[in-house]
Amino acid sequence: MDLRSFIDLLWSHGRLKRIEPEVDWRFEIGRITREHREPLLFENVRGYPGSRVFTNGLSSPELIALSLGLGSQQGMKEIINAAKNRLQKPLSPVIVDSGPILQNIVRADDIDFLELPVPQWSPRDAGRYLGTWHVNVTKDPETGTRNVGVYRMQVLGPKHATVSTSPTSDLGRHVAKAEKTGRALPMAVAIGVSEAVMIAASAACPYGYDEYQFAGGLETKPLQLLKCETVDLEIPADTEIAIEGFIQPGERVQDGPYLDYAGKANTNPKAFLFEATRMMFRDNPIFRGSSIGLPGAEDHQVFSLLAHLKLVDFHGRRSRQFVQNPLLRKRLFRPFQLAGRLGGFHPRHWGPNSAR
Ligand SMILES: Cc1cc2nc3c(=O)[nH]c(=O)nc-3n(C[C@H](O)[C@H](O)[C@H](O)COP(=O)(O)O)c2cc1C
Protein backbone atom coordinates (compact mmCIF):
# COMPACT_ATOMS: atom_id res chain seq x y z
CA MET A 1 0.00 0.00 0.00
CA ASP A 2 1.79 3.14 -1.15
CA LEU A 3 1.26 6.39 0.74
CA ARG A 4 -1.49 7.58 -1.63
CA SER A 5 -3.47 4.36 -1.26
CA PHE A 6 -3.12 4.65 2.52
CA ILE A 7 -4.43 8.23 2.44
CA ASP A 8 -7.37 7.05 0.28
CA LEU A 9 -8.03 4.24 2.76
CA LEU A 10 -8.04 6.70 5.65
CA TRP A 11 -10.47 8.90 3.74
CA SER A 12 -12.81 5.96 3.07
CA HIS A 13 -12.76 5.12 6.80
CA GLY A 14 -13.55 8.72 7.73
CA ARG A 15 -10.13 8.99 9.39
CA LEU A 16 -8.55 11.75 7.29
CA LYS A 17 -8.85 15.43 8.05
CA ARG A 18 -8.31 17.55 4.95
CA ILE A 19 -7.06 21.05 5.69
CA GLU A 20 -8.17 23.22 2.79
CA PRO A 21 -7.52 26.77 4.08
CA GLU A 22 -4.06 28.18 3.37
CA VAL A 23 -1.44 27.27 5.97
CA ASP A 24 2.10 28.53 6.46
CA TRP A 25 5.03 26.12 6.20
CA ARG A 26 6.64 28.15 8.99
CA PHE A 27 5.31 26.80 12.31
CA GLU A 28 1.64 26.51 11.31
CA ILE A 29 1.73 23.01 9.77
CA GLY A 30 3.75 21.81 12.76
CA ARG A 31 1.47 23.44 15.30
CA ILE A 32 -1.70 22.02 13.76
CA THR A 33 -0.02 18.61 13.54
CA ARG A 34 0.85 18.69 17.24
CA GLU A 35 -2.65 19.85 18.18
CA HIS A 36 -4.34 16.91 16.44
CA ARG A 37 -4.08 13.18 16.93
CA GLU A 38 -5.49 12.27 13.54
CA PRO A 39 -4.08 12.06 10.01
CA LEU A 40 -3.91 15.46 8.32
CA LEU A 41 -3.61 16.35 4.66
CA PHE A 42 -2.66 20.01 4.14
CA GLU A 43 -3.87 20.92 0.67
CA ASN A 44 -2.92 24.58 0.44
CA VAL A 45 0.56 25.55 1.60
CA ARG A 46 1.43 29.25 1.31
CA GLY A 47 3.82 29.78 -1.58
CA TYR A 48 3.44 26.20 -2.85
CA PRO A 49 0.37 26.03 -5.09
CA GLY A 50 -0.69 22.45 -5.81
CA SER A 51 1.54 20.95 -3.11
CA ARG A 52 0.30 18.77 -0.28
CA VAL A 53 1.76 17.82 3.08
CA PHE A 54 0.64 14.72 5.01
CA THR A 55 1.25 14.21 8.76
CA ASN A 56 0.07 12.07 11.70
CA GLY A 57 -0.56 8.96 9.58
CA LEU A 58 0.44 6.60 12.41
CA SER A 59 -0.69 8.63 15.41
CA SER A 60 -2.68 5.79 17.06
CA PRO A 61 -2.60 1.97 17.17
CA GLU A 62 -5.76 1.83 15.00
CA LEU A 63 -3.93 3.76 12.29
CA ILE A 64 -0.93 1.43 12.51
CA ALA A 65 -3.38 -1.48 12.09
CA LEU A 66 -4.87 0.12 8.98
CA SER A 67 -1.42 0.79 7.51
CA LEU A 68 -0.58 -2.90 7.89
CA GLY A 69 -3.80 -3.96 6.18
CA LEU A 70 -5.38 -5.11 9.46
CA GLY A 71 -8.87 -4.05 10.52
CA SER A 72 -9.10 -0.74 12.39
CA GLN A 73 -10.76 -2.57 15.29
CA GLN A 74 -7.63 -4.58 16.06
CA GLY A 75 -6.22 -3.93 19.51
CA MET A 76 -2.55 -3.45 20.33
CA LYS A 77 -2.20 -7.17 21.17
CA GLU A 78 -3.37 -8.27 17.72
CA ILE A 79 -1.15 -5.70 16.03
CA ILE A 80 1.88 -6.90 18.00
CA ASN A 81 1.13 -10.54 17.15
CA ALA A 82 0.69 -9.76 13.45
CA ALA A 83 3.94 -7.76 13.38
CA LYS A 84 5.80 -10.55 15.24
CA ASN A 85 4.56 -13.14 12.73
CA ARG A 86 5.49 -10.98 9.78
CA LEU A 87 8.93 -10.31 11.21
CA GLN A 88 9.50 -14.07 10.97
CA LYS A 89 8.58 -14.01 7.27
CA PRO A 90 10.79 -11.38 5.63
CA LEU A 91 10.40 -11.00 1.88
CA SER A 92 13.27 -9.95 -0.39
CA PRO A 93 12.49 -6.93 -2.56
CA VAL A 94 12.32 -7.15 -6.34
CA ILE A 95 13.88 -4.72 -8.81
CA VAL A 96 11.56 -3.09 -11.34
CA ASP A 97 12.41 -0.95 -14.38
CA SER A 98 9.97 1.88 -13.87
CA GLY A 99 7.62 3.45 -11.37
CA PRO A 100 5.68 6.63 -10.71
CA ILE A 101 8.69 8.20 -9.01
CA LEU A 102 10.24 8.69 -12.48
CA GLN A 103 7.47 11.11 -13.49
CA ASN A 104 9.63 14.16 -12.69
CA ILE A 105 13.43 14.19 -12.67
CA VAL A 106 15.62 17.12 -11.57
CA ARG A 107 19.33 17.17 -12.44
CA ALA A 108 21.94 18.23 -9.85
CA ASP A 109 22.31 21.85 -11.02
CA ASP A 110 18.58 22.49 -10.81
CA ILE A 111 17.91 20.96 -7.40
CA ASP A 112 16.37 23.22 -4.79
CA PHE A 113 14.96 21.42 -1.75
CA LEU A 114 12.86 24.48 -0.98
CA GLU A 115 10.80 23.92 -4.11
CA LEU A 116 9.20 21.29 -1.88
CA PRO A 117 6.87 22.57 0.87
CA VAL A 118 9.38 21.74 3.61
CA PRO A 119 7.99 22.93 6.97
CA GLN A 120 9.75 24.57 9.85
CA TRP A 121 7.91 22.39 12.30
CA SER A 122 8.43 24.22 15.57
CA PRO A 123 9.71 27.59 16.80
CA ARG A 124 12.24 25.47 18.71
CA ASP A 125 13.75 24.15 15.46
CA ALA A 126 16.71 25.93 13.90
CA GLY A 127 15.31 25.69 10.40
CA ARG A 128 13.31 23.71 7.88
CA TYR A 129 13.49 19.93 8.20
CA LEU A 130 13.38 17.96 4.97
CA GLY A 131 13.70 14.63 6.74
CA THR A 132 11.39 13.92 9.65
CA TRP A 133 9.36 10.92 8.37
CA HIS A 134 11.47 9.54 5.53
CA VAL A 135 14.08 6.85 4.98
CA ASN A 136 17.84 7.06 4.34
CA VAL A 137 19.33 4.24 2.28
CA THR A 138 23.06 3.43 2.28
CA LYS A 139 25.32 0.42 1.79
CA ASP A 140 28.30 -0.80 3.80
CA PRO A 141 31.22 0.31 1.58
CA GLU A 142 33.12 -2.90 2.37
CA THR A 143 30.47 -5.62 2.30
CA GLY A 144 27.70 -3.99 0.25
CA THR A 145 24.98 -4.82 2.80
CA ARG A 146 22.14 -2.30 2.81
CA ASN A 147 20.76 -0.22 5.65
CA VAL A 148 17.46 1.60 5.61
CA GLY A 149 17.03 3.94 8.59
CA VAL A 150 15.50 7.22 9.67
CA TYR A 151 18.00 10.00 10.39
CA ARG A 152 16.73 13.57 10.57
CA MET A 153 17.77 16.08 7.92
CA GLN A 154 17.80 19.88 8.12
CA VAL A 155 17.96 21.98 4.97
CA LEU A 156 21.22 23.95 4.71
CA GLY A 157 21.05 25.07 1.08
CA PRO A 158 19.41 24.27 -2.27
CA LYS A 159 21.01 20.84 -2.39
CA HIS A 160 22.70 20.53 0.99
CA ALA A 161 21.25 19.11 4.18
CA THR A 162 22.42 17.69 7.49
CA VAL A 163 22.11 14.03 8.43
CA SER A 164 22.00 13.63 12.20
CA THR A 165 22.93 10.36 13.84
CA SER A 166 25.30 8.70 16.25
CA PRO A 167 28.62 7.12 15.20
CA THR A 168 27.28 3.81 16.52
CA SER A 169 24.21 3.75 14.25
CA ASP A 170 24.35 1.67 11.09
CA LEU A 171 24.66 4.84 9.02
CA GLY A 172 27.40 6.15 11.31
CA ARG A 173 29.32 2.93 10.73
CA HIS A 174 28.90 3.20 6.96
CA VAL A 175 30.24 6.76 6.99
CA ALA A 176 33.23 5.73 9.14
CA LYS A 177 34.13 2.96 6.68
CA ALA A 178 33.85 5.30 3.68
CA GLU A 179 35.92 7.98 5.42
CA LYS A 180 38.71 5.49 6.14
CA THR A 181 39.44 5.54 2.42
CA GLY A 182 38.55 9.22 1.95
CA ARG A 183 35.45 8.43 -0.10
CA ALA A 184 32.02 10.04 -0.06
CA LEU A 185 29.19 7.71 0.99
CA PRO A 186 26.34 7.35 -1.54
CA MET A 187 22.94 7.90 0.10
CA ALA A 188 19.38 7.91 -1.20
CA VAL A 189 16.53 9.59 0.65
CA ALA A 190 12.91 8.59 0.10
CA ILE A 191 10.12 10.83 1.41
CA GLY A 192 6.54 9.59 1.24
CA VAL A 193 7.19 5.85 1.41
CA SER A 194 4.59 3.34 2.57
CA GLU A 195 4.15 3.37 6.33
CA ALA A 196 5.36 -0.25 6.51
CA VAL A 197 8.71 0.85 5.04
CA MET A 198 8.83 3.61 7.62
CA ILE A 199 8.13 1.20 10.50
CA ALA A 200 10.81 -1.21 9.25
CA ALA A 201 13.35 1.60 8.84
CA SER A 202 12.70 2.79 12.41
CA ALA A 203 13.50 -0.68 13.72
CA ALA A 204 16.91 -1.44 15.21
CA CYS A 205 17.56 -4.54 13.12
CA PRO A 206 20.92 -6.31 13.49
CA TYR A 207 23.78 -4.71 11.53
CA GLY A 208 23.78 -6.05 7.97
CA TYR A 209 20.09 -6.96 7.96
CA ASP A 210 18.17 -5.33 5.09
CA GLU A 211 15.13 -3.47 6.48
CA TYR A 212 13.50 -3.61 3.03
CA GLN A 213 13.01 -7.34 3.70
CA PHE A 214 11.29 -6.62 6.99
CA ALA A 215 9.10 -4.04 5.19
CA GLY A 216 8.16 -6.67 2.58
CA GLY A 217 7.23 -9.04 5.41
CA LEU A 218 5.13 -6.33 7.07
CA GLU A 219 3.35 -5.64 3.78
CA THR A 220 3.11 -9.39 3.06
CA LYS A 221 4.45 -8.77 -0.42
CA PRO A 222 7.93 -7.95 -1.74
CA LEU A 223 8.75 -4.28 -2.15
CA GLN A 224 9.26 -3.05 -5.69
CA LEU A 225 12.52 -1.16 -5.87
CA LEU A 226 13.96 1.06 -8.55
CA LYS A 227 17.67 1.55 -9.08
CA CYS A 228 18.93 5.10 -8.62
CA GLU A 229 20.93 6.68 -11.43
CA THR A 230 23.75 8.64 -9.78
CA VAL A 231 24.32 6.23 -6.87
CA ASP A 232 24.30 2.43 -6.59
CA LEU A 233 21.25 2.32 -4.34
CA GLU A 234 17.57 1.39 -4.58
CA ILE A 235 14.41 3.22 -3.53
CA PRO A 236 10.76 2.10 -3.47
CA ALA A 237 9.35 2.73 -6.97
CA ASP A 238 6.17 4.25 -5.57
CA THR A 239 7.72 6.73 -3.15
CA GLU A 240 6.48 10.31 -3.50
CA ILE A 241 9.88 12.06 -3.51
CA ALA A 242 13.42 10.66 -3.84
CA ILE A 243 16.78 12.36 -3.56
CA GLU A 244 20.11 10.81 -4.54
CA GLY A 245 23.46 12.12 -3.35
CA PHE A 246 26.54 11.68 -1.19
CA ILE A 247 27.61 12.24 2.41
CA GLN A 248 30.81 14.26 2.11
CA PRO A 249 33.87 12.68 3.77
CA GLY A 250 35.44 14.55 6.67
CA GLU A 251 32.76 17.25 6.77
CA ARG A 252 30.77 17.94 9.96
CA VAL A 253 28.04 20.55 10.34
CA GLN A 254 25.64 21.64 13.06
CA ASP A 255 22.16 20.16 13.01
CA GLY A 256 19.48 21.78 15.14
CA PRO A 257 18.37 22.71 17.67
CA TYR A 258 15.50 20.37 16.81
CA LEU A 259 12.58 19.40 19.04
CA ASP A 260 13.31 15.69 19.47
CA TYR A 261 11.37 12.64 20.63
CA ALA A 262 12.09 13.45 24.29
CA GLY A 263 10.47 16.86 23.90
CA LYS A 264 13.81 18.62 24.15
CA ALA A 265 15.57 20.91 21.71
CA ASN A 266 18.52 18.79 20.64
CA THR A 267 21.64 20.03 18.84
CA ASN A 268 24.13 17.83 17.06
CA PRO A 269 27.26 19.86 16.26
CA LYS A 270 28.77 16.93 14.35
CA ALA A 271 26.09 16.00 11.85
CA PHE A 272 27.06 14.68 8.42
CA LEU A 273 26.76 16.85 5.32
CA PHE A 274 24.65 15.55 2.41
CA GLU A 275 24.88 16.89 -1.13
CA ALA A 276 22.18 15.95 -3.64
CA THR A 277 22.97 14.81 -7.17
CA ARG A 278 19.47 14.02 -8.48
CA MET A 279 15.91 14.46 -7.33
CA MET A 280 12.72 12.73 -8.49
CA PHE A 281 9.10 13.15 -7.58
CA ARG A 282 5.67 11.91 -8.58
CA ASP A 283 3.16 14.21 -10.24
CA ASN A 284 1.54 16.34 -7.52
CA PRO A 285 3.81 14.87 -4.85
CA ILE A 286 2.68 14.49 -1.28
CA PHE A 287 5.35 15.66 1.16
CA ARG A 288 5.32 13.39 4.23
CA GLY A 289 6.66 14.73 7.48
CA SER A 290 5.98 14.72 11.17
CA SER A 291 6.06 17.09 14.12
CA ILE A 292 7.34 15.16 17.10
CA GLY A 293 8.16 16.20 20.65
CA LEU A 294 4.85 15.58 22.43
CA PRO A 295 4.10 12.41 24.40
CA GLY A 296 2.25 9.86 22.25
CA ALA A 297 3.11 11.50 18.90
CA GLU A 298 3.39 9.15 15.95
CA ASP A 299 7.08 8.37 16.50
CA HIS A 300 6.17 7.11 19.99
CA GLN A 301 3.38 4.97 18.54
CA VAL A 302 5.88 3.28 16.24
CA PHE A 303 8.52 2.92 18.98
CA SER A 304 5.91 1.32 21.26
CA LEU A 305 5.16 -1.37 18.67
CA LEU A 306 8.88 -1.89 18.00
CA ALA A 307 9.61 -2.16 21.75
CA HIS A 308 7.35 -5.21 21.82
CA LEU A 309 9.44 -6.67 18.99
CA LYS A 310 12.66 -5.79 20.88
CA LEU A 311 13.67 -3.56 17.99
CA VAL A 312 14.30 -0.17 19.61
CA ASP A 313 17.75 1.33 20.02
CA PHE A 314 18.31 5.01 20.78
CA HIS A 315 22.07 4.58 20.73
CA GLY A 316 22.19 6.07 24.20
CA ARG A 317 23.30 4.65 27.51
CA ARG A 318 22.21 1.06 28.10
CA SER A 319 20.82 2.01 31.54
CA ARG A 320 18.55 4.61 29.99
CA GLN A 321 17.39 2.17 27.36
CA PHE A 322 16.67 -0.34 30.12
CA VAL A 323 14.25 2.17 31.64
CA GLN A 324 12.80 3.42 28.36
CA ASN A 325 11.83 0.12 26.75
CA PRO A 326 9.29 -1.05 29.39
CA LEU A 327 7.77 2.44 29.47
CA LEU A 328 7.31 2.28 25.71
CA ARG A 329 5.72 -1.17 25.92
CA LYS A 330 3.29 0.11 28.57
CA ARG A 331 2.62 3.21 26.47
CA LEU A 332 3.70 5.50 29.31
CA PHE A 333 4.90 8.14 26.92
CA ARG A 334 5.39 11.04 29.29
CA PRO A 335 7.71 9.08 31.63
CA PHE A 336 9.38 7.67 28.52
CA GLN A 337 10.21 11.21 27.43
CA LEU A 338 11.44 12.15 30.89
CA ALA A 339 13.70 9.09 30.94
CA GLY A 340 15.00 10.22 27.56
CA ARG A 341 16.17 13.45 29.13
CA LEU A 342 17.96 11.79 32.04
CA GLY A 343 21.64 11.08 32.36
CA GLY A 344 23.15 14.43 31.51
CA PHE A 345 21.99 17.93 30.92
CA HIS A 346 22.20 17.59 27.18
CA PRO A 347 21.59 13.97 26.32
CA ARG A 348 22.57 13.63 22.73
CA HIS A 349 20.98 10.40 21.71
CA TRP A 350 21.62 10.12 18.05
CA GLY A 351 24.30 12.72 18.56
CA PRO A 352 28.06 12.34 18.66
CA ASN A 353 28.23 12.00 22.44
CA SER A 354 26.02 8.94 22.67
CA ALA A 355 27.69 6.28 24.74
CA ARG A 356 26.57 2.69 24.83
C1 LIG B 1 10.43 9.78 13.32
C2 LIG B 1 11.76 9.18 13.64
C3 LIG B 1 12.90 9.98 13.65
C4 LIG B 1 14.15 9.45 13.94
N5 LIG B 1 15.23 10.26 13.89
C6 LIG B 1 16.46 9.75 14.10
C7 LIG B 1 17.62 10.59 13.98
O8 LIG B 1 17.53 11.77 13.69
N9 LIG B 1 18.84 10.00 14.17
C10 LIG B 1 18.96 8.68 14.47
O11 LIG B 1 20.09 8.20 14.63
N12 LIG B 1 17.88 7.87 14.62
C13 LIG B 1 16.65 8.38 14.42
N14 LIG B 1 15.54 7.57 14.54
C15 LIG B 1 15.73 6.20 14.98
C16 LIG B 1 16.29 5.33 13.93
O17 LIG B 1 15.56 5.36 12.76
C18 LIG B 1 16.34 3.95 14.47
O19 LIG B 1 17.23 3.95 15.54
C20 LIG B 1 16.72 2.92 13.45
O21 LIG B 1 16.73 1.71 14.11
C22 LIG B 1 18.05 3.09 12.82
O23 LIG B 1 19.01 2.62 13.68
P24 LIG B 1 20.28 1.81 13.22
O25 LIG B 1 21.19 2.77 12.63
O26 LIG B 1 20.77 1.21 14.49
O27 LIG B 1 19.82 0.78 12.21
C28 LIG B 1 14.27 8.08 14.24
C29 LIG B 1 13.14 7.27 14.22
C30 LIG B 1 11.90 7.82 13.93
C31 LIG B 1 10.69 6.93 13.91
- Taking CB atoms and a 6 Å cutoff, what residues make up the pocket around ligand 1? 133, 147, 149-152, 164-166, 169-171, 202-204, 290, 292, 299, 302, 313, 350
Residue 325 lies in a domain: yes
Residue 207 lies in a domain: yes
pLDDT band of residue 354 (cuts 50, 70, 90) is very low
* Overall domain count for the chain: 1
Among 122, 202, 210, 321, the mutation site with the greatest number of ligand 1 atoms within 8 A of its Cβ is 202
| Domain carrying residue 16 | 3-341
Residue 268 lies in a domain: yes
CB-neighbour burial class of residue 181 (10 A; exposed 0-12, middle 13-18, buried 19+): exposed
Residue 280 scores a pLDDT above 80: yes
Residue 348 scores a pLDDT above 80: no
Residue 116 scores a pLDDT above 70: yes
| Alpha helices (runs of H) in 42-169, residue ranges in sequence order | 61-67, 76-87
Residue 315 scores a pLDDT above 90: no
pLDDT digits (tens, 9 = 90+) for 194-236: 999 999 999 999 999 999 999 999 999 999 999 999 999 999 9
Distance in angstroms (rounded) separating the CA atoms of residues 145 and 83: 24
The CATH number covering residue 159 comes to 2.30.110.10
Residue 255 lies in a domain: yes
Residue 321 has what pLDDT? 86
Distance in angstroms (rounded) separating the CA atoms of residues 113 and 134: 14
Residue 351 lies in a domain: no
Residue 286 lies in a domain: yes
Residue 352 lies in a domain: no
Enter the pTM of the model: 0.96
Measured torsion, CA atoms of residues 248, 250, 251, 255, in degrees rounded to the nearest 10? 100
